[in-house]
A and B are shown apart, each in its own frame.
Chain A
Amino acid sequence: MPPTPAIVERPQRWDAAFDPNMTDADVDRLLAIDPFNGMAPENFPKRTPLREILRHDTSIRRYRKGEIIVRQGDYGTSAFLILSGATRVVLKPDLPLSLLGRQSPGKKGIFRTLAQLWSPLRPPESFSRNRLQQDRGVGARANENNEVRVFLQDLPRVLDQHRTEEMIAGDVFGEIAALSRMPRTSTIFASSDTAELLEIRWQGLRDLMRSDDQLRQHINRVYRERALASYLRATPLFRHLSKEQLAQLAEQVEFATYGDYDWSGEYKRLAQAGSVRPEKEPVIVQEGDYPNGVVLLRAGFARVSRKFASGERTLNYLGAGHLFGLPEIAHNFQKPQELIDSRYTLRAIGYTHILIVPTRAMEQIVLPSLPKSEFPPPLSGADKAPDVVEDPHTAGRERIGADTLEFLTTNRFFNGTATMVIDLDRCTRCDDCVRACASTHDNNPRFLRHGPSSGRIMIANACMHCADPVCMIGCPTGAIHRESFAGQVVINPVTCIGCKACANNCPYEAIRMVDIRDSNGEFMLGEDLKPISKATKCDLCVENYGGPACQRACPHGALERMNLNDLDSLADWMKR
C-alpha cells in the first residue's frame, strides 16, 4: 500500500498579523503621516495593498524613557520609524556588555578550573542567588501588553559616560539589519518620556520597497553608503579594482532578498510533515536562462541544482561569501561567439540575501581588471553541462557523495558552523562525550548523542552555532547572543527570563528549557510559585580551556565539531 501523504495547510501571507491589535484608526493615522502619505496606493499590487501592509506587517510600539529598543549585535527582523518622541543611538564604544544583558567573554580562571577537582557534586542546573544577580544598571519590566522591556536605570549617567546621538520623529533605523540579516550595528534606547515607534517587519518592508520608489531609493542609498562599499572592498574578486572603479561598481550592484525571513518556523512545520521539497524553494537563477550577473551571497544559503529526470539533483550549496555564475559570464566575455546560458539553477534555501553584479558591470569594470590567471577556464564540451567535472558548484557533491549532500541540504545542516558530526563507523557508543559535557556544564549534558543520520554520518542533537542564528531573533533581554562578531552563540543565564523564544525559533530543536535549582538542589520558584526556567544549550565550552569537551573526550576520533558550510573539511574528515 502506498504511504499516505501527510497533508498540512501551507502557511499564507498574513495568516498571522504582526500585531493583531492594529486598528483601522491606527492605519488611518499612519496613512496621514510621512512617508506613507507620499506613497501612491495605486502603485501597490492588489494582493498586497498599502493599507493591508500597514495593518498586517506593522505594529505601534510605545517605549518609556530609558527602555532599550534594539541592541548592538542582535539579529532583528524589523525596521523602526519614529512616530513621536525621541530616541538615542549609542555611538562607539557601545554600552558595557552587562547593560546589554550579555555575559563577558572569557575563560574560567585557572583557580576556578582546578577547583572543579575538589568541588562537591552540585545538583544539575543549580545556581547560587548571587550568580543570578543582574547588573544593577538595568532593570526589566513588562508593558501593558505583557512584553518584557529592559531599561537603563541611571539614564543621566549613561548619557554622561557614553557618546549618543538623538533621533527624532520621522527617522528610520534598523532597515539594513532587517534587509540583509546582519547583526544590528548600534544600541538604541528611548530618551523622551514616551517614544512611539512604528515597527515594520521584514515582509512589510520588502513589499513597501517594491511598490514605492522613494522608499526604495532611500534604502538603496543607505545600503550603498553603510554596507555595500565595505563589502565590495572585502570581496577577493574585486581586489584589483581602484577606488573609482569600486564606486562605479557599487552604483550598479543590485541587491535582493529571497525566501522567508522567518523560514525556521515554516521549515519546522514542513519538516515534521516530511514535505520539505527543493522544487518549492524560490528560484534566484534558472538553469538555461541568460546569465544576468554574478550572484554574491551576502547572507543565508542557496542550493545549486541541475535538472535530473523529473526532479532536480542537488550539486552543492552555497553560503555567505560564495559566488555564483562567474564561469559562464567569464566564458561569454572571452568567447562572445560561443555564448552559453546558466548551467545550473540557484535556489534560496530558507532566506537568502544576495548582491547581483550585472553582466554589463562585470564586462566593463571587473573582468578587464582581472588578471588572466584568475579567470575561470573557458568552458567547452562537457563543461557546458557538467555533473562531474572540477567546478566550484559541483565539487561538494563529488567529494562527499550525492546522498550525504542531499541529507545535509534537506535537513539544512549547512547552517552549522560547529555542528556535532559523529562517525558511526568509529563511535563505540561509550557516551564519554555526554559525560564530559555533563561534567563541564552543571552536571547536565547540553546535547543528545542522537540525531538524523545518513550512511556513517550522524548529526547529533547539539547547538550548531549557526551562521544564520534564527534563535537570536526576538530575545527580549539580549540573553542569547554571539560571543564575538561571528563567534559562538551563548546564553547568559542571568538575563534569560525563560520565555522560550529562542527554543521555539531553533529549527533543530537544540535549545532546551530547564527548571533551575538553588545550591541545595531545591527548584527555584518565582513569586507566582512556578518554577523558574532558563534556556540551555551547548556553548562550545566557551569558558573552558582546550575547546569543546565532547570532542576532546572522544577516544576514537569519532566526534568532530565542524563547519558544514565548508564541505572540503567534511570530505577530508570522512576520508581521514
Chain B
Amino acid sequence: MKRFRGQFLLGTFLLLVASVLAIMAHRRWSGVLPAYAYLSGWVLFGAMVLLTIYNARKKLPFLPLGSSETWLQIHVYVGFFTVVLFLIHLNFHVPTGWFEGTLAWLYLLVTGSGVAGLFLSRVLPRRLATRGGEVIYEKIPALRYSIRQQAEALALGGEPKSPAIAEFYTQQLSPFLAGPGRFWSHLVESRRPLNAVMTEIEEFRRYLNEGERGTLEKLRELIRTKDGLDYHYALQKTLKLWLFVHLPLTYSLMIFSLVHIVLVFAFSAGAK
C-alpha cells in the first residue's frame, strides 16, 4: 500500500474507532458517574496538551523524539478527535456563560485555523511547484528589486532612448513592478491582473518600431518573471502566516483552559 494512503486509512480508522468508543462511553456514563464532567474535561485537556507540545517537539530537533511527520499525523487526527471530546464535554449543548462562550469560540478558531492550515499545506505546495520557478521566500525582495532595476534600465536608460516606452513604462508598467502585489488574485489563482498588463503591452506594441518592440519584449519577460515572484510571495506568505494565527490562538486557548480548570475547582459544586 502507498505510504500516504496507508497513513490516511490508518488515521481515519483509528479516529472513527476512538470517536465511536467515546460517544458510547458518553452515553453509558453521562449522568451516571459522579464526576463525569471532570473526566471528559481532563481527557479533552490532555488531548489539547498533546496537540500543543508538537510545537515543543519542533524546537528540540536534536532529541530522538520521533519524526515530525509522525507527530503531525498524530496532531491532525488527535485534533479531529478533540472535536468529539469537545462536544461530549459540552454535553452537546451550546455554552451560555461569557467565559465558556469565549473558550468555545477560541476552540473553534484554533480548530478552524488548524483545518485551514492542513488544507493550505496540502494544496499550495503543488501550485508553487508549477509556476514561477523555485525561489527562497527571503530572497524575493532582492530579486524583485533586481527586476525593477533591469526594467528601468531598459525603459528609461536604453539607447537609443524611446520617449514612448519611457512614458508607457512609467504610467502602465511601473506600478506592476513596484513591491509585492496582487496577493488575493494569486491566492485564488486569478490571472486577470497579469492578462490586463499583457493586453496593454500588446495594444501598445503596434505603435512601436522594430527596435522598440525588442525592448518591449524584454519588458514583457520581466513582467512575467515579476508575476511569478509575486505568485510565490503570496503563496509562501500564506503558508507562513496561517501558523501565526494558529499558534497565538492555541496559547490563548490553553491559558483560558487553565483558568477554566481553576474556576471549576474553585467552584466545584457546579461541575457535575
Q: Footprint of B on A, CB under 8 Å?
A: 113-114, 116-117, 424-430, 432, 435-437, 439-440, 449-450, 453, 455-456, 458, 544-546, 549, 551-558, 575-576
In the assembled complex, the CB of B19 is this many whole angstroms from the nearest CB of chain A, namely: 24
Smallest CB gap from A117: residue in B:
B60
Smallest CB gap from B3: residue in A:
A576
In the assembled complex, the CB of A275 is this many whole angstroms from the nearest CB of chain B, namely: 23
With A453-B134, A458-B134 already in contact, the answer to whether A554 and B69 are too (CB < 8 A) is yes
Q: Does B124 contact A (CB under 8 A)?
A: yes
Q: Which of B2, B58, B60, B129 has the most CB of A within 10 A?
A: B129
Q: Footprint of A on B, CB under 8 Å?
A: 2-4, 58-69, 71-72, 120-121, 124-126, 128-129, 134, 136-137, 236, 239-240, 243
Q: Is the CB of B64 within 8 A of A576?
A: no
The docked-state distance in angstroms from the alpha carbon of A170 to that of B156 is 74
The docked-state distance in angstroms from the alpha carbon of A549 to that of B68 is 10
* Residues from chain A with Cβ under 8 Å of B137 in the complex: 429
* Residues from chain A with Cβ under 8 Å of B66 in the complex: 546, 552
Of the candidates A116, A455, A554, A575, the one whose C-beta lies within 8 Å of that of B62 is A116
Of the candidates A449, A545, A558, the one whose C-beta lies within 8 Å of that of B136 is A449
The docked-state distance in angstroms from the alpha carbon of A100 to that of B152 is 58
Smallest CB gap from A452: residue in B:
B134
Of the candidates B2, B59, B64, B125, the one whose C-beta lies within 8 Å of that of A428 is B125
* Residues from chain B with Cβ under 8 Å of A430 in the complex: 239-240, 243
Smallest CB gap from A545: residue in B:
B64
Q: Is the CB of A432 within 8 A of B3?
A: no
* Residues from chain B with Cβ under 8 Å of A458 in the complex: 134
Q: Is the CB of B124 within 8 A of A450?
A: no
The docked-state distance in angstroms from the alpha carbon of A34 to that of B180 is 74
With A552-B68, A557-B3 already in contact, the answer to whether A432 and B136 are too (CB < 8 A) is no
* Residues from chain A with Cβ under 8 Å of B3 in the complex: 557, 576
Q: Is the CB of A556 within 8 A of B121?
A: yes
Of the candidates A114, A455, A555, the one whose C-beta lies within 8 Å of that of B68 is A555
* Residues from chain B with Cβ under 8 Å of A440 in the complex: 61-62
Smallest CB gap from A426: residue in B:
B125
With A425-B125, A449-B136, A549-B61 already in contact, the answer to whether A576 and B2 are too (CB < 8 A) is yes
Q: Is the CB of A555 within 8 A of B64?
A: no
* Residues from chain A with Cβ under 8 Å of B129 in the complex: 424-425, 455-456
Q: Is the CB of B69 within 8 A of A555?
A: yes
State the 3 A-B residue pairs at the shortest beta-carbon distance, nearest first.
A436-B61, A546-B64, A424-B129
Smallest CB gap from B63: residue in A:
A113
Instruction: Given contacts A435-B61, A449-B136, A555-B71, list 16 more A-B pairs with CB under 8 A.
Output: A116-B62, A424-B129, A425-B129, A429-B136, A430-B240, A430-B243, A439-B59, A440-B62, A450-B134, A455-B129, A456-B129, A546-B64, A551-B67, A552-B67, A555-B72, A576-B3
Interface of A is mostly: loop
The docked-state distance in angstroms from the alpha carbon of A449 to that of B138 is 12
Of the candidates A114, A424, A449, A576, the one whose C-beta lies within 8 Å of that of B4 is A576
Q: Which of B68, B71, B124, B137 has the most CB of A within 10 A?
A: B68
* Residues from chain A with Cβ under 8 Å of B136 in the complex: 429, 449-450
With A552-B61, A576-B4 already in contact, the answer to whether A425 and B68 are too (CB < 8 A) is no
Smallest CB gap from A424: residue in B:
B129
In the assembled complex, the CB of A2 is this many whole angstroms from the nearest CB of chain B, namely: 15
Interface of B is mostly: helix
The docked-state distance in angstroms from the alpha carbon of A137 to that of B61 is 36
Q: Is the CB of B134 within 8 A of A428?
A: no
How many contacts between A and B, using CB within 8 angstroms? 88
In the assembled complex, the CB of A82 is this many whole angstroms from the nearest CB of chain B, namely: 48
Q: Which of A113, A425, A429, A551 has the most CB of B within 10 A?
A: A429
Q: Is the CB of A556 within 8 A of B128?
A: no
Smallest CB gap from B117: residue in A:
A428
Q: Which of A449, A453, A555 has the most CB of B within 10 A?
A: A555
The docked-state distance in angstroms from the alpha carbon of A439 to that of B3 is 29
* Residues from chain B with Cβ under 8 Å of A456 in the complex: 129
Of the candidates A114, A424, A555, A575, the one whose C-beta lies within 8 Å of that of B128 is A424
In the assembled complex, the CB of A423 is this many whole angstroms from the nearest CB of chain B, namely: 8
Q: Is the CB of A429 within 8 A of B239?
A: yes
* Residues from chain B with Cβ under 8 Å of A455 in the complex: 129
* Residues from chain A with Cβ under 8 Å of B67 in the complex: 551-552, 554
Q: Is the CB of A575 within 8 A of B2?
A: yes
* Residues from chain B with Cβ under 8 Å of A439 in the complex: 59-62
In the assembled complex, the CB of B239 is this many whole angstroms from the nearest CB of chain A, namely: 5
* Residues from chain A with Cβ under 8 Å of B239 in the complex: 428-430
Q: Is the CB of A428 within 8 A of B68?
A: no
Q: Which of A426, A450, A545 has the most CB of B within 10 A?
A: A426
* Residues from chain B with Cβ under 8 Å of A424 in the complex: 125, 128-129, 134
Q: Is the CB of A544 within 8 A of B62?
A: yes
* Residues from chain B with Cβ under 8 Å of A425 in the complex: 125-126, 129
* Residues from chain A with Cβ under 8 Å of B121 in the complex: 428, 556
20 contacts between A and B (CB under 8 A): A113-B62, A113-B63, A116-B62, A424-B128, A426-B125, A427-B125, A429-B239, A429-B240, A430-B239, A439-B62, A440-B61, A440-B62, A449-B136, A545-B63, A552-B61, A553-B61, A554-B67, A555-B71, A556-B69, A575-B2
Smallest CB gap from B60: residue in A:
A117
In the assembled complex, the CB of A445 is this many whole angstroms from the nearest CB of chain B, namely: 11
In the assembled complex, the CB of B89 is this many whole angstroms from the nearest CB of chain A, namely: 28
The docked-state distance in angstroms from the alpha carbon of A558 to that of B125 is 10
Q: Is the CB of A556 within 8 A of B72?
A: yes
The docked-state distance in angstroms from the alpha carbon of A117 to that of B81 is 31
The docked-state distance in angstroms from the alpha carbon of A458 to that of B134 is 9
With A424-B129, A575-B2 already in contact, the answer to whether A553 and B68 are too (CB < 8 A) is yes
* Residues from chain B with Cβ under 8 Å of A555 in the complex: 58, 68-69, 71-72
* Residues from chain B with Cβ under 8 Å of A429 in the complex: 125, 128, 136-137, 236, 239-240
The docked-state distance in angstroms from the alpha carbon of A273 to that of B248 is 50
The docked-state distance in angstroms from the alpha carbon of A458 to that of B135 is 12
* Residues from chain B with Cβ under 8 Å of A453 in the complex: 134
The docked-state distance in angstroms from the alpha carbon of A558 to that of B60 is 19
Smallest CB gap from A548: residue in B:
B61
Smallest CB gap from A1: residue in B:
B214
In the assembled complex, the CB of B2 is this many whole angstroms from the nearest CB of chain A, namely: 6
The docked-state distance in angstroms from the alpha carbon of A440 to that of B59 is 11
In the assembled complex, the CB of A400 is this many whole angstroms from the nearest CB of chain B, namely: 16
* Residues from chain A with Cβ under 8 Å of B65 in the complex: 546
In the assembled complex, the CB of B125 is this many whole angstroms from the nearest CB of chain A, namely: 6
The docked-state distance in angstroms from the alpha carbon of A450 to that of B135 is 8
* Residues from chain B with Cβ under 8 Å of A546 in the complex: 63-66
In the assembled complex, the CB of B70 is this many whole angstroms from the nearest CB of chain A, namely: 9
The docked-state distance in angstroms from the alpha carbon of A425 to that of B125 is 5
* Residues from chain A with Cβ under 8 Å of B240 in the complex: 429-430
The docked-state distance in angstroms from the alpha carbon of A166 to that of B17 is 74
In the assembled complex, the CB of A131 is this many whole angstroms from the nearest CB of chain B, namely: 18
In the assembled complex, the CB of B173 is this many whole angstroms from the nearest CB of chain A, namely: 23
* Residues from chain B with Cβ under 8 Å of A551 in the complex: 67
The docked-state distance in angstroms from the alpha carbon of A146 to that of B2 is 58
In the assembled complex, the CB of B66 is this many whole angstroms from the nearest CB of chain A, namely: 8
Q: Is the CB of B134 within 8 A of A432?
A: no
Smallest CB gap from A552: residue in B:
B67
In the assembled complex, the CB of A108 is this many whole angstroms from the nearest CB of chain B, namely: 8
Q: Is the CB of A432 within 8 A of B68?
A: yes
* Residues from chain B with Cβ under 8 Å of A116 in the complex: 62-63
Q: Is the CB of B69 within 8 A of A557?
A: yes
The docked-state distance in angstroms from the alpha carbon of A453 to that of B130 is 12
With A458-B134, A555-B71 already in contact, the answer to whether A428 and B60 are too (CB < 8 A) is no
* Residues from chain B with Cβ under 8 Å of A544 in the complex: 62, 64
With A430-B240, A554-B68, A555-B69 already in contact, the answer to whether A549 and B125 are too (CB < 8 A) is no
